[in-house]
Chain A
């Protein structure tokens, strides 16, 4: 499974929506339940699933799902 596929599963599980299909341009505006609280969870789950740790700077610079995928791939 590549990063995008794994991330899709994480999103589907977290937002409880099997229909979610990730695109690089996707942002929090595109998913109803994606608020600041679920964002914290999303970051924690990614760190746990991909066995990595994001820095404060990296987390602040995330603009969309594409950035997230790049960041994970870079750190893996």
Chain B
């Protein structure tokens, strides 16, 4: 078969949701992928990933490779030896260290633990047992940390076979409880560069009767049924992609038969079904409650509906059972234009990438249009039954962010406040007096423990205002914080409407007389406020204090960061080559700044 035909077949297969495909099909296409890997790798992002585990991982690795490729990543994979966790991690001369992976995927199994608390153990003995196990993992993590890699490790799945039957859940010394305590301890004590994959959740989701496959265990040393390989891989990849900055931020919602039963244009605001005493009405209410819970954790809600705007809004303002209010919706788009164009407008309005949107609509025709014209949008194939809407959106695991920050929890509020700010802006004749009226306060500080999570999150999520798009792992940050030649700066902003928290990150690198700006990025929520000029002033001060003579910045173009193409020129830097710019540290800034210094 010629390679063009293989590529075509492969691409066809990759349009499917692979976690729902059989592992046999994935392996079949993985074989095809290997044949044309060289040809299709060009221009793709590459990652070095090691997979280690005590059980067989050979098939896991193949499924992983193809599923990563589906999302545009070509993996260079190190496949650990069978039962290799201890031997490879604790031997610094092992091939694992020579390979130097960026990510280490660790698959654990309850049989990794050789001894469990004996029956009738006391609380203290059990506590000691947990600590002993933790010591092993702490040492393991510290060893791996020499590679400055990110570790994705599974929690233990508690076994289906129980020595003590129901008593397992009621006595502290049972194997089940011991493993639960260990999982709990792991959550409490894990290092910042360790991310846990909740394998026990996946196993319960599947049902442990199906999850465990004894025949496969004895024949192939598989830790769980191969039927669930694609699902397990999808959980690991979901976390990995989130660390790589591929995240969804906003749900775009249809209205009729998505948020409520019926068609508001025909039935009127009192006729749509949100009746708490009706099974269908209740299902729609539950979906709205779920959306509110997403909003609470920082997911932006937007509406995109084919309706008259006034009538559509009556559903929110006049129906007595409606759970969502207009204030919960950061962008409301109701008109008769096609949805693909409207979705583009929503992304523009919210200042986020189209690829960070999730589209929810009960109408398969609308979904097809969005899939065709905006393939970067995640489209949820809602089931016909509204009772299953919540589950369907949740199972898509769109918002599997790797951390939750205070900025996430206040985000929806900020978008609302932005609308008020917009009103204020329009009431001023000139922009300067508007900025003045905002009473902005800003602060530039060095990253401490408290700011690390947000610093990494913002570094990995920002695409547009991002000069070099340097993605960071916890280990990278740890390393730079301990190096006196680096300074990691964060910028906070508040105004009369809201506290934004950390909205900008800058990394400076002292290279003798040059202070190199390793990266400079900012959240698009605070564009055109003078934050960059405010921060620049502090950057110059640091460079001077370091004894540097010149400040050098670089712009590395990506598909998304055209916005800051002329950033350094605008700050007064002169161009030294294609991408790099420099400026004397004693330059005088004569830009008026409307941000006052303050915490």
Footprint of B on A, CB under 8 Å? 13-14, 16, 36-37, 40-41, 44-45, 48, 55-56, 59-60
Contact = CB atoms under 8 A, between A and B. Distances in A.
Contacts of B226: 40, 44
> Would you list the 9 A-B pairs with minimal beta carbon distance, nearest first?
A56-B215, A44-B24, A40-B220, A41-B24, A37-B58, A45-B24, A56-B218, A41-B27, A59-B219
B279 interface: no
B31 A16 contact: yes
A14 to B, nearest CB: 7
A37 B27 CA distance: 10
A12 B377 CA distance: 38
B59 interface: yes
Q: Which of A13, A16, A48 has the most CB of B within 10 A?
A: A16
19 contacts: A13-B28, A14-B28, A16-B31, A36-B220, A37-B58, A40-B59, A40-B219, A41-B24, A41-B27, A44-B23, A44-B226, A48-B22, A48-B24, A56-B214, A56-B215, A56-B218, A56-B219, A59-B215, A59-B219
Nearest to B31: A16
B172 to A, nearest CB: 35
Nearest to A57: B215
A49 B220 CA distance: 21
B219 A37 contact: no
A40 B225 CA distance: 12
A51 to B, nearest CB: 15
Given A16-B31, A48-B22, 19 more contacts: A13-B28, A14-B28, A36-B220, A37-B58, A37-B59, A40-B220, A40-B226, A41-B27, A44-B23, A44-B24, A44-B226, A45-B24, A48-B24, A55-B215, A56-B214, A56-B218, A56-B219, A59-B215, A60-B219
Contacts of A14: 28
Interface residues of B, number: 14
A13 B218 CA distance: 27
A56 B23 CA distance: 20
Nearest to B227: A44
A16 B59 CA distance: 18
Contacts of B31: 16
Contacts of A56: 214-215, 218-219
B528 to A, nearest CB: 57
A56 B27 CA distance: 23
B221 to A, nearest CB: 10
Contacts of A60: 219
Interface in B215-239: 215, 218-220, 226
Nearest to A40: B220
Nearest to B23: A44
A59 B215 CA distance: 10
Contacts of A44: 23-24, 226
Nearest to B1: A16
Contacts of A55: 215
A37 B79 CA distance: 14
Nearest to A14: B28
A13 B29 CA distance: 11
Contacts of A13: 28
Nearest to A55: B215
A11 B220 CA distance: 21
A44 B22 CA distance: 10
B288 to A, nearest CB: 41
A67 to B, nearest CB: 16
Contacts of B59: 37, 40
A14 B24 CA distance: 9
A59 B22 CA distance: 21
A64 B212 CA distance: 29
